[in-house]
Amino acid sequence: MALQSGEKLPMFIGHVWSKQKRRWTLLGLRLLAFLAAAAATLVMVLNKQTKTFVVATIGTTPVNLTLTAKFHHTPAFVFFAIANGLVSIHNLVMIMVDLLGSKFDYKGFQLPMIASLDMLNLALVSGGANAAAFMAELGKNGNSHARWDKICDKFGAYCDRGAGALIASFLALALMLVISFLSILNLKLVNSSSHNSHNNIIALPN
Amino acid sequence: MAKTKRIIITILLRLLAFGATLSATVVMVTSHESAEVMNIKFSAKYSNSPTFKFYVTAEAIATGYGLIVLFLSSRRSFDRLIVILDVVIALILTSSISAALAVAQIGKKGDTHAGWLPVCNQVPKFCDHVTGALIAGFVAAIVYLVLNLYSLHVFLTPLFPV
């Protein structure tokens, strides 16, 4: 790739994107990821369903049993809620840093920190989403070998809301993947001695 | 000198990760146990649970990838592609280990709210076997994370004066 001291960086696909366009694209993607992760957290935390079952009949009076399904009964869902909460906070902080932090002196650490934090949060949201997805699969299908009954036929609304939270989280995961990729592409070489990362144009080593 | 040090550290990390994923796959695949409790035969295998099947698939993919990259790590033109694929493989590994840990936790402690009894009392050796495989997978995920951060650092060190 040719080194230029202008404002354009050729991407792999051969398009030439200006710095402003890249910045606003990244910001828009971060906003979407923040909204998706926050939605996933909220839907999962507020997920609760109570149902009354008739267990036996003594004479003519039925014996009722009230069961509640809450998200914190399952550790995987607690992890899911925490992971998505952390990812939404991360995206919010990154949006603030981008919009309001241009006068702060980062001593050259801004871009590597953003790239590393994006990668770590990507791993976090991926772990949370997948753990909850497999727990949901277990709740939906049960496991005949371990004699575990499925619960989604009794608690349909709980399962539906959980599925909605999972979809939002997977959307956040896809967005975080693209954001991570863009942040890594933003890392460029310092071939001069300047430090203010907003004004530098650098190219990846080859 | 710095370049050879970088290459040695990268190769060591990749070897460690390759060993960890290989052992995770093998230990999980060879875990099976049968127990008879009151004339009911309990037979526990890794393929009884879709989560463990996913875990074995993910670790096998990571093992194959590690083997290929160990042979390719000296070519410079593949550097960036390898970094990207490393991120993807680290992602797959963390997903599979967290999913397997979630289901294994249910197997060990049960879920009283859902009426699911723990399975580990009937098949303790199977549970120990699976625990070993999960530990190896966890180590592999952490090593891949360290490898990713190190690759990022290596890409930037000759360039940043800090």
* B50, B54, B95 member nearest A127 (Cβ): B95
DSSP-derived 3-state class of residue A70: strand
For A63, phi then psi, to 5°, come to -95, 120
A201 contacts A4 by C-beta, under 8 angstroms: yes
Q: Choose among A61, A14, A33: nearest CA to A183.
A: A33
Whether A134 sits inside 8 A of B50 (CB atoms) is yes
Inter-chain contacts counted by CB atoms under 8 A, chains A and B: 113
- With an 8 Å Cβ cutoff, is A123 touching chain B? yes
For A107, phi then psi, to 5°, come to 55, 40
Pairing of strands A8-10, A48-58: unpaired
Whether B102 sits inside 8 A of A76 (CB atoms) is yes
B65 contacts B93 by C-beta, under 8 angstroms: no
Residues in chain A: 206
Delimit the domains of chain B by residue range. Answer: 1-29+49-157
Confidence of residue B75 (pLDDT cuts 50, 70, 90): low
Q: What is the pLDDT of residues A71-94, one digit of tens each?
A: 888 899 999 999 999 999 999 999
B22 contacts B137 by C-beta, under 8 angstroms: no
Query: What is d(CA A201, CA A198) in angstroms, rounded to the nearest whole number?
Result: 8
Q: Decide if pLDDT at B120 tops 80.
A: yes
| Residue A102, token pair as written in the block | 């241009």
Whether A143 sits inside 8 A of B49 (CB atoms) is yes
Whether B99 sits inside 8 A of A130 (CB atoms) is yes
B104 contacts B134 by C-beta, under 8 angstroms: yes
In which residue are the tokens 């809450």 written? A70
pTM: 0.83
Delimit the domains of chain A by residue range. Answer: 21-194
- With an 8 Å Cβ cutoff, is A103 touching chain B? no
How many Å lie between the alpha carbon of A116 and the closest alpha carbon of chain B? 7
Q: Which residues of A touch B103 (CB under 8 A)?
A: 134-135, 138
DSSP-derived 3-state class of residue A101: coil
Q: Which residues of B touch A182 (CB under 8 A)?
A: none
Q: What is the pLDDT of residues A17-73, one digit of tens each?
A: 777 888 899 999 999 999 999 999 999 999 888 888 887 778 788 888 888 888 888
Closest residue in B to A69 (Cα–Cα): B113
Query: What is d(CA B86, CA A50) in angstroms, rounded to the nearest whole number?
Result: 44
